[in-house]
Amino acid sequence: MTTDLPMPEAQVAVVIIAFGKEILLPFNPKWGAFSLPMTKRRKWFDPNFGGQERLEEWRAAAVRASAEVLGRTFDQNELPVPLADLKDLQQMEPDSGLVGYLKDLIIVDFKPSVREQGLWKRYELHIFALALGQKETPATGMAAEWLAPPDYKKRHPISPTATRILDHLAHKGLLPPWQNG
């Protein structure tokens, strides 16, 4: 069944920050769970381009999400790099019966803001890797925990979105540690 209703969209950069095989999961107070660093791409009207709407570059969004968690800047040679092209991942909201999927870097899912209205929201996710040379302490005031897979499946609270992304990366053999170069 098709519909002509518009689907709200969000473009999100996600970063897997790793030291060795451990992944940094910051606490997201809005979700009440530990998750992966992620942020929506920013939009603005650029007066230098006739006031047209511009979108932040994907990598710039990934750097911003990383800086927010680690509380520092990055040299050019240590910026997050694209990690995965996610395709055909089936997902299920626990205990809800609501099904979504990851396809071509797009996650379709119900979110609390639209769930009560019965609307779908389309999330385009670009996944980046940031391999650290040493284990770092998160930014001041940032609650976060380093976990090695598969510990993220045994610990609570971990966000369902982070779990789905990490499960998919594990299935594809893309979890850290990563080879340099």
- pLDDT (0 to 100) of residue 94: 41
Helix (H, G, I), strand (E, B) or coil at 108: strand
pLDDT exceeds cutoff 60 at 92 = no
Give me 51's structure tokens.
Answer: 């006031």
Helix (H, G, I), strand (E, B) or coil at 130: strand
Helix (H, G, I), strand (E, B) or coil at 153: helix
When pLDDT is averaged across residues 55-62 and rounded to a whole number, the result is 94
pLDDT exceeds cutoff 90 at 57 = yes
Helix locations, 116-175, DSSP H: 160-171
Structural domain boundaries in the chain: 9-171
pLDDT exceeds cutoff 50 at 74 = yes
When pLDDT is averaged across residues 78-97 and rounded to a whole number, the result is 57
- pLDDT (0 to 100) of residue 77: 93
- What CATH topology corresponds to 9-171? Nucleoside Triphosphate Pyrophosphohydrolase (3.90.79)
pLDDT exceeds cutoff 80 at 96 = no
- pLDDT (0 to 100) of residue 117: 54
Residue that the structure tokens 């396809």 belong to: 103
Query: 109-167 pLDDT, tens per residue?
Result: 444 444 445 555 667 888 999 999 999 999 999 999 999 998 999 999 999 889 988 98
Query: 12-48 pLDDT, tens per residue?
Result: 899 999 999 999 999 999 999 999 999 999 998 888 8
- pLDDT (0 to 100) of residue 40: 93
Residue 157: asked if its preceding bond is cis (omega within 30°), the reply is: yes
